[in-house]
Amino acid sequence: SDLRKQEERGELLQPLIFVLLVLCSVLLYFKVSLMDPGFVKPEEEVKEGENKERGVVIPQIPGDIKLRRCGYCLVKQPMRAKHCQLCQHCVRRYDHHCPWLENCVGERNHPLFIVYLSVQLVVLLWGGHVAWSGLYFEQSWEWLQHNIFLLVSFLLILIFTLVVLLLLVSHLYLISCNTTTWEFMSHHRISYLRHSELENPFDQGIILNLWRFFC
């Protein structure tokens, strides 16, 4: 059969890989959106030396800066945690609340969020290539009628690709500096950053920052 011949020539391998990537992207989306991003539990108490146990040494933080108690959920916030008004929880190493995921991006799901963006970018680039390869341009109304759906699809894929690419690049930059979106945008309002001797006391070099984030 024709299907058997296509399989022998390897013509079905690429569509299969593409479908698997799309499936992987969907599964990652649900995983990141449904998992606990690092909520601070009410029964947890911040113990002395917790940062050392986590392998984070911050000698440049002034000693007179005390951990504050959240005015909303009344838990004692660990360093770099923030209360999210939408989730109604304090989130460890809070980065941002993503409206597309309907969940916060924090300590636990931030690495998976980066993996999700990477897979999504590959899917969009591949889909854009397929859409572009199907276009042949002619200056006629009949051509536009027959190709309008493909043309609109390509333009939408292009827009989403640019958005995902910019988002991924910006997050990788912040990760390489060991900072979060919240810390980057609100540096002047965060006490442990505003009173620190260094602009970013968490930065330990690009390689170590990336290693500790992903590994």
Active site amino acids: 98
Distance CA 174, CA 170 (A): 6
Burial class (CB in 10 A: 0-12, 13-18, 19+), 11: exposed
Distance CA 144, CA 125 (A): 23
- Count the Cβ atoms, other than its own, within 10 Å of residue 72: 11
> Tokens 């539990």 label which residue?
41
Q: Look at residue 52 and give its three-state secondary structure.
A: helix
- Gap between the terminal Cα atoms of the chain: 48
Residue length, the chain?
215
| Sequence-ordered strand ranges (E) for the chain | 82-84, 89-91, 96-98, 103-105
Distance CA 116, CA 29 (A): 7
Distance CA 170, CA 166 (A): 6
Burial class (CB in 10 A: 0-12, 13-18, 19+), 202: buried
